Amino acid sequence: MFEHLKEQPADKILALMQAYKDDPRDTKIDLGVGVYKDAEGRTPIMRAVKAAEKEWWNEEETKAYVGLAGDPAFSDAMIRLILDDAAPRDAVAAVATPGGTGAVRQAFDLVKMANPGARVFVSDPTWPNHLSILKHMGIEHVPYRYFDNETGGVDFDGMMQDLDGVKAGDVILLHGCCHNPTGANLTMQQWGDVTDLANAKGAIPMIDIAYQGFGDGLDADAAGTRHVVASCPEVLIAASCSKNFGIYRERTGLLMAVCQDSARRPTTQANLAYLNRQNYSFPPDHGARLVSLVLTDDALRADWQAELEEVRRGMLGLREQLAQELRKLSGSDRFGFIAQHRGMFSRLGLDADKVEALRKDHAIYMVGDSRINIAGLNARTVPLLAQAIIDVGA
């Protein structure tokens, strides 16, 4: 049987991780995979998470199953964190999932069950795994223009023109904040326009929110999502705790389906639980438990927010430093967008040859589309990157 299997294309981000590991040069700089690193290059366990882990080690008395939807305390806390009071709680169906990717996958599965003909409109570019999962599942996707390579900003006119092609029942996939891979984000006015368009066409917004707290702050980063939820009858939201709680390997995510009213919730909830059962049965509990402990304990929550804010400000400082260095070296403001972008990533707009030269000649690793992970830098390496960008002729 296995002889019928075909080679699979390597995931570009994961292949880059391996190539970086294999590079013997000690000057190498990793700006690839979206994992937060501090100035020493470590991915720390957040203080509040560690404290919750100790508490839970003392308290936990069984490893028996929790429930198909996961621990309701986790769903409640996450719904509150992301939606605040944008939707009545009894209209929101939710299940814990293995990471944000698990939530994305379950959301597409739900779409397929509810409306097999639905197409998913995706930003061009988007996180490559969105496309890969859609392709694997046989769901048609339609790209919409998003990034203007010249300005480093959002091509909003292009986006709206392309979204004009959505039909009732199609899904519009949006990034809640900190767009991956570009770092360019919608303004609140633009969120309003996209919401109006979705409602006028009868399309369903789906929001992937994986970096809440990494851009402009916890509430500001959720403002677009809250607006959509408050304005549209049905919304899907795939949330990740990997980055803002730093619990990557615990695989902690939540899928929410915001229903038009509480009457639609029980069947939707049952379908989400059904999907969990079919795909992996019970979702992992450990990371979800840590998140709900942190979010529901005032002291832990305050400490988590303070540390998250340090992380956010650190990345903003690196953005500003990089934009400033490039301004100095290039004698122009053409990289000024780096300071305007938000989140972990910025797409620099370099062509593949320059990205390759940066890797070969300078041991600087970034994704082939010139996406950099800002957190892979520190005050010492920012000038090295800026100089290398100029040296490769950008």
- Give residues in contact with ligand LMR (CB under 6 A): 13, 33-34, 127, 129, 180
Is the CB of 33 or the CB of 220 nearer to ligand LMR? 33
CB of 183 to ligand LMR, least distance (A): 12
Is the CB of 33 or the CB of 160 nearer to ligand LMR? 33
Contact 89, 252 (CB under 8 A): no
**What distance in Å separates the CA atoms of residue 166 and residue 66, rounded to the nearest whole number?**
39
**Which 3 state secondary structure label does DSSP give 385?**
helix
Is the CB of 178 or the CB of 203 nearer to ligand LMR? 178
Is the CB of 104 or the CB of 186 nearer to ligand LMR? 104
Is the CB of 38 or the CB of 60 nearer to ligand LMR? 38
Active site amino acids: 127, 208, 210, 243
CB of 319 to ligand LMR, least distance (A): 17
**What distance in Å separates the CA atoms of residue 136 and residue 142, rounded to the nearest whole number?**
15
194-219 in b/e form (b: 16+ CB < 10 A) is bbebbeebebbbbbbbbbbbbbbbbe
Contact 128, 11 (CB under 8 A): yes
CB of 31 to ligand LMR, least distance (A): 10
Contact 169, 203 (CB under 8 A): yes
DSSP conformation class of 211: -
The backbone torsions φ and ψ at residue 386, rounded to the nearest 5 degrees and listed phi first, read -60, -45
Is the CB of 4 or the CB of 249 nearer to ligand LMR? 249
Is the CB of 16 or the CB of 350 nearer to ligand LMR? 16
Kindly state the tokens that stand for 4.
Answer: 């019928």
CB of 201 to ligand LMR, least distance (A): 29
Is the CB of 105 or the CB of 265 nearer to ligand LMR? 105
CB of 101 to ligand LMR, least distance (A): 7
Separation in Å, CA 78 to CA 5, 74, 257: 40, 6, 13
CB of 286 to ligand LMR, least distance (A): 19
CB of 59 to ligand LMR, least distance (A): 31
**What distance in Å separates the CA atoms of residue 247 and residue 9, rounded to the nearest whole number?**
27
CB of 104 to ligand LMR, least distance (A): 11
Contact 280, 109 (CB under 8 A): no
Nearest Cα neighbor of 385 from 4, 27, 9 is: 27
Instruction: Report the residue number whose CB is nearest to ligand LMR.
Output: 34
**What distance in Å separates the CA atoms of residue 31 and residue 164, rounded to the nearest whole number?**
35
**What distance in Å separates the CA atoms of residue 259 and residue 239, rounded to the nearest whole number?**
17
Alpha helices in the chain (DSSP H): 12-22, 47-59, 72-83, 99-114, 128-137, 156-163, 188-201, 218-231, 265-279, 286-296, 298-330, 337-340, 352-362, 381-391
Kindly state the tokens that stand for 176.
Answer: 């809640």
